[in-house]
Chain A
Amino acid sequence: MAKTVENPETVEKSRTLFQETWRRLLKNKGAIIGMVFLVVLVVAAILSGFIFDYDTDVIGQDIKNRLQWPSKEHIFGTDELGRDIFTRILYGARYSLAIGCGSVAIGLVIGVILGSLAGFYGGVVDQIVMRVNDILYAIPNIMIAVVIVSLLGTSTFNLLLALCVSASTSFVRIARASVMTIRGQEYVESAYAMGLPTWKVIMKHIIPNCLSPIIVQVTLLIGTTIISASSLSFLGIGVPSPAPEWGAMLSSGRSQIRNASYICVIPGLAIMFTVLALNLLGDGLRDALDPKLKK
């Protein structure tokens, strides 16, 4: 008896939806550019933890070399305290990525669970979840962050916490809408007709099919979260200095904007390109996952 399939004919090669999506994604040049950039950034962020020593390379001051324009020695120049900007940018990627991915990940889990429950059960559960969600959604996430940070103090972790509240609100909506649509599909009915208990129907059949819009939202939301984190750091209530968070670097460069504008511009560009790459990837994913473009 053969391993999986016993037959003389060849088994038809097939593609899962995942492989199909990947293939379509690769046809999108923008998405590829975005992916490549992000991969490089992630690698740089991880490696910089090993290559650089935090105290000497990243925050170590070197006053006599302050305000040097970009040169062979310092590719991005030095800031007002003599710190090498290139090192700080690479290291700073860790913060942006960690906060962006971290808050979105936590927000995802909370949001999907609450949204699925609301979408599946409807009625009172739906009403309560959605009304609370609507309130949180309506409050600007910067404000929520300000409140949480002023209650709990300024730290990277608290910033992450603050941002995942607003991240979860969008996932609640998406998950709820997806679940409501899929709940009415015949294959869900088929699962019940087969005798599957409700929890299995949700886990096996409903949630896996909701993933497409959620995946797209993840990439786009990481981008906006990075901007929010940078904005809050810019305002001084995000990642505390002297950490090389890009928004904080932008902020501290304000005083030198006339004679050493690169101190502001470079972190700004770093934010911009990262978010752009995420958006390109997100758009590419949305197109690749669009069922209407199939066949």
Chain B
Amino acid sequence: MAEPILRVENLTKYFQTPRGQLHAVDGVSFSIDKGKTLGIVGESGCGKSTTGRLILKLIDATKGNIYFDGKDITKYSVSQMRSLRCDMQMIFQDPFSSLDPRQSVMQLISEPIIEHKLIKGKEAIEKRTLELMDIVGLARRYVNTYPHELDGGRRQRIGVARALAVNPKLIVCDEPVSALDVSIQAQILNLLKNLQKEYGLTYVFITHNLAVVKYFSDDIAVMYLGQMVEKAPSDLIFTRPLHPYTKALLEAVPVPIVGKNRPIRKLIRGEITSPVNLPDECRFCSRCDYLVDACKTHDPQLAEVEPNHFVACARIHSVDDINITKTRPEN
């Protein structure tokens, strides 16, 4: 089997704050094969955006290892990373603040090409910039306009073009459509999917929107308070969620169905707890309805409970047949 293009082991990031040690990302491990999409899902404070930035080494990890294309890049210096920047790129969330307001579309898209000296000659660079605009569906007539003159959808296309300009292998998409209207979201998602097919791109797709991640990802990882609590192929996550948080998350999504087919939802209680100075127990236990004794005594780790399906839950780990977990405790 071919080496996965990205492999991450025990990736950890702690921040020192006046209140104590903040566990932003805690022991996250996963791998992605070339041409696939891993969706990372979670709510605010779960660490998914930080994970995205750790992968690209925009933030330095506290612990753990990152392997890109077989190479251990964990300790790479800034200059060593420079050439890798052409292989790993990022699409940012906010189309309103991720583009320098003083640069025109031409300058924004050609900047990475010029910086990495990928093409020589002003004319050739401009030609390539226009080609990229075509690829992302941005009308050529906007080439000399500025971000503040364009709407969110078009700005996001500029962001995609910038990422593509260096011919990357891996793109981390940090909530790329969350700030866009529904109909524009669909346009950008289709674009990203087509680009993946055309160029064999690998995506790490970070989002809080479960509907989008289901549509887009091959595998899905669910994060809560810095930890990965469940990881499985996309279909399994939706048909057989095992972790109580995953279940709660799925049930919480408002479904646009009216009438008999409307699913009944059970809501999660409480609020997210503090990521600072964590005790040695399951981080979800204060909101969980399925507690067993082990939950309060140690912090469960991600383990494979059936082929390709990983869960971090003491209760799940303790049962012999995970099928019995489908029923609620009251039944």
Chain A residues with a Cβ under 8 A of chain B: 1, 4-7, 9-12, 14-17, 20, 185-187, 189-197, 205, 208-209, 294
Contacts and interface: CB of A to CB of B under 8 A. Distances in A.
B145 interface: yes
A20 B148 CA distance: 11
B125 to A, nearest CB: 11
B148 A187 contact: no
Contact of A209 (B94, B102, B104, B111): B102
A12 B144 CA distance: 7
A12 B142 CA distance: 6
25 contacts: A1-B127, A5-B126, A6-B130, A11-B140, A12-B142, A14-B144, A14-B149, A15-B146, A17-B101, A17-B102, A186-B93, A187-B99, A189-B58, A190-B90, A190-B92, A190-B162, A192-B58, A193-B56, A194-B111, A194-B166, A195-B81, A195-B85, A195-B86, A208-B102, A209-B101
A125 B215 CA distance: 48
A282 to B, nearest CB: 22
B64 interface: no
Contact of B85 (A187, A194, A208): A194
B49 to A, nearest CB: 11
Contacts of B99: 187, 190
Contacts of A294: 148
B297 interface: no
A193 B100 CA distance: 14
Interface residue tally on B, bucketed by range: 35 or more
A19 to B, nearest CB: 10
Nearest to B95: A186
B58 A12 contact: no
Nearest to B146: A14
A186 B98 contact: yes
A294 B92 CA distance: 23
Contact of A16 (B81, B98, B100, B146): B146
B100 A209 contact: yes
Interface in B190-238: none
B271 interface: no
B183 interface: no
B89 interface: yes
Nearest to A196: B115
A11 B143 contact: yes
A17 B145 CA distance: 11
B306 interface: no
A189 B100 CA distance: 11
B139 interface: yes
A258 B146 CA distance: 61
B141 A12 contact: yes
A115 B15 CA distance: 26
Contacts of B85: 193-195
B97 A185 contact: yes
A7 B140 contact: yes
Contacts of A10: 141
A168 to B, nearest CB: 25
Interface string B117-156: 0000001001100100000000111111110110000000
Contacts of B90: 190, 193
Contacts, number: 91
Contacts of A192: 58
A224 to B, nearest CB: 29
Contacts of B139: 9
A208 B100 CA distance: 10
B146 A194 contact: no
Give the 7 A-B residue pairs with the shortest CB-CB distance, closest first: A195-B85, A186-B98, A14-B145, A187-B100, A12-B141, A7-B140, A195-B82
B97 A187 contact: yes
Nearest to A18: B102
A210 to B, nearest CB: 11
B141 A194 contact: no
B149 A15 contact: yes
Nearest to A5: B143
A155 B146 CA distance: 48
A193 B89 CA distance: 7
A181 to B, nearest CB: 11
B4 interface: no
Contacts of B140: 5, 7, 9, 11
Nearest to B124: A1
Given A9-B141, A190-B90, 7 more contacts: A9-B140, A14-B144, A20-B148, A186-B92, A193-B85, A194-B162, A195-B86
Contacts of B89: 193-194
B116 interface: yes
B78 interface: yes
Nearest to A187: B100
Nearest to A197: B78
A1 B140 CA distance: 15
Contacts of B93: 186
Nearest to A209: B102
B27 interface: no
Contact of A1 (B123, B159, B166): B123
Given A14-B145, A186-B94, A193-B85, A5 B130 contact: yes
A4 B92 CA distance: 29
Nearest to B159: A190
Contacts of B35: none
B102 A11 contact: no
Nearest to A7: B140
Given A5-B126, A9-B139, A186-B92, A14 B104 contact: yes
Contacts of B45: none
Given A1-B123, A6-B130, A194-B112, A205 B145 contact: no
Contacts of A4: 126
